[in-house]
Structure 1
């Protein structure tokens, strides 16, 4: 699973280094012998990040830069060979104005790419999402890297923002990128152990199940991928010559449902999973509930669909070998319990 240690690939910038995925990316790079610079929105997060990753050799530098501002990015990318652009705004709730999430995602990516080009960075690996691949209906529900979510479709702002930001990134590199290379990673739902206290949407889902906050779940299926494997894929895509100009869909195994996640928790966690949901709503119940619950509106269009995500490209080209979804779900819950993030 690990790559060989390297010390001569130059400085690597990771944006959003204190986030759920970002911290795993920083940790993987340090473990592989790289020198890393990580951006955080506020330097108040620097101590937290250092506590999450092992850096015995002192190869981690932490700087402040915000995706919504130009200031700081020229300094952040200076001297870097690679940039892993992991940071992205994720709203706690869907905003009334879609531009509140679309504009920062698009403009933030362009800020990073522009700064990387000007600093003569070799390659940017950008974290996008399956949201940019598979949220426009497709007969058969089979998806690979050639598929795109149409931003004009009636999807929630966050889904649209991922497609718009990724399209803008590819367009920029083609038109104005010069010698800059771009590679994009499109993960499905990211689960797996947390390194710190900040929950992602997917880990929050597991937390809600363990706390009894979801008495019943919608009949919706989604891909699962381990956060450690997504970090590993970023590093592989950064270094592999053939990855330039490519997208890589990241998911593990077959898509699973909310109810299957609950069943996995119940199977492995005993008394800790006493409150997980055991009932699945009907499609009609979800549609009715979505009238008054905005959080359910996103899933209405996907009721009963079981997406098939083809990840052969990452496996064949980059030698990527992800964990199975069941162990990932269990380790997500175990880390939440260990961090005392689950309220009895």
Structure 2
């Protein structure tokens, strides 16, 4: 055996360019690629599991995701690996969503200890995926199955994801549900990539990142696509949970309005800028227009809401209104601590 058999060898571009690959294929059009990894992230209790189980149902059925014709699916068998919920709760949710009526097989791994940082278990899982022609694997959650993975060590994070790289080449989509920290008040309400634990290394390992936000007690879920290596990032959109006669459905409820999105973006920018010191209204309006193309109306509305929320304080500087971070946010801005996720019953 020579070294060519042991190690990957460079290839001339002219030879590589002759290879033919299929056009970009989607498991869910514009959201989940056939060949790729996806992270679906939110703090505990913000309904990311409901979104993931809806993905399982729609893919297994071959029906439009969220009953939206824009989100066409390519049907396949699904494996749902759950290490978060009791079996009774997983079954309850599956029955509400109608998983038992799907045309393709949905497999569930919800018992025993799953450690996908252990080579033997990974090999067994890969063999099961191939044997049963699984097209989508949903892992709930990354932290629960990662076997003590140190998310602060870049090499460990890369090695973990590399274990499953062969699935990409076999046309298997892998969706990892992941906890992230809740936003601090100075960060605004719109989810950000930086709220992922070990965000840089995880982002480098996946094709798609979607972050989910939902208020406690609300039936509305907001989905923010924040990375899409396989295409253009889609606008954020709203999902509504509808329950009727012991059934539950998740349906697309339109894109998040541009004005609302811009106002939230204005809040983010204002809090970020005020972290470096106070600014007048005019200064903030000029910065918002120059840096993010946000109009005056959205800046003024964002300032008003931030003052009401206590995130910033309003004073005077000469004849101009002058804004600074609130006292609590100034402390947060110098002492940022990651918040460990805490499960909320029935709403993950």
| TM-score, with length taken from structure 2 | 0.38
- Larger radius of gyration between Structure 1 and Structure 2: 2
Structure with greater strand percent:
2
Structure with greater helix percent:
1
